[in-house]
Amino acid sequence: MVTTIKESTSTTEWGPFSLKGRNALITGAAMGIGRGIASRFLEAGANVMMADISAGVGEAAAQLDENRATGIVLDISDEKATAAAVQRFVEEFGGLDILVNNAGIYPTSPVLDMTPEFFDRVIDINLRGLVFMSKAAGQQMVKQGKGGRIVNVASIDSVHPSMPGLAAYDASKGGVLMFTKNFALEMAPHNVTVNAIAPGGITTEGASRPTAGLTTEQIQQLTSEFVRQVPLGRFGVPDDIAKVAVFLASSAADYMTGELVIVDGGRLLR
């Protein structure tokens, strides 16, 4: 698939979308959607900790902003590590206002060929890791008593399957949607909103992995077929998701919780 990432367009006046002075922790932030979200959050005025299993996350943070961005290596599937990451975040920034759960994987396997290890790995990272990251962040936000924002990156596969081979992924993202809704109920009395974004096809490094082993013609055929089904006629780019994440993290979304915002170029209309 195409992996060109569109450069973000600067927005200098954020108004109700401003994140000035807010402290945000973003998982899966070394590249792709996560890095796009980090870039827009910094532009909107937030202080950002970028967490990722990749050792390159520190360099990615330095490239974006040496003063207001920092990077930590984090395995989201390790519950103790997620709790430690929140503690480190608070020690470094003084408090946690926003959590963006973006970390995830996108492997493919037909159910008839699937191993328990494959299924467990997808669930551990995409769902279990998100749940316990949310727990650690939620506990901190309740302790602070100032409210907060949790934004989960789900998928259009949360509500409609894209293709065979993604059963484990779809199960994990369907779980993300229902967790978002239930946790929103739990956190509402604490003025912590919990919402989710459902991206459609986005051109990222990770999105190209399911095409490994295919010929150039096969990839072009898959790409053309996908784009044909998108009313807006193109793949999305990380910045398409990043700007929606800013909205959900800002005061512009004060009266929203437990919602799924679909950002798919109209794909689900077909």
> How many of the other CB atoms lie within 10 Å of CB of 17?
18
Q: Which two tokens stand for residue 87?
A: 């503690």
SS3 (DSSP) at 130? helix
Which DSSP state fits 197? E
The encoded tokens of residue 6 equal 């569109």
The set of catalytic residues is 169
- Sorted by sequence, the CB contacts under 8 Å of residue 152 that are 6+ apart come out as 100, 101, 130, 134, 176, 179, 180, 194, 195, 196, 197
DSSP secondary-structure letter at 121? H
Q: 149-177 b/e with 16+ CB inside 10 Å = b?
A: bbbbbbbbbbeeebeebbbbbbbbbbbbb
Do 19 and 246 contact (CB within 8 A), yes or no?
Answer: yes
Cα–Cα distance, 127 to 179 (Å, whole number) = 9
Residue 16, classified by CB atoms within 10 Å of its CB into exposed (0-12), middle (13-18) or buried (19+), is exposed
Q: What angle do CA 241, 129, 211 make, to 5 degrees?
A: 55
Backbone phi, psi, residue 123, to 5°: -65, -40
* Residue where the block lists tokens 């009395």: 189
Q: What is the DSSP letter of 213?
A: T
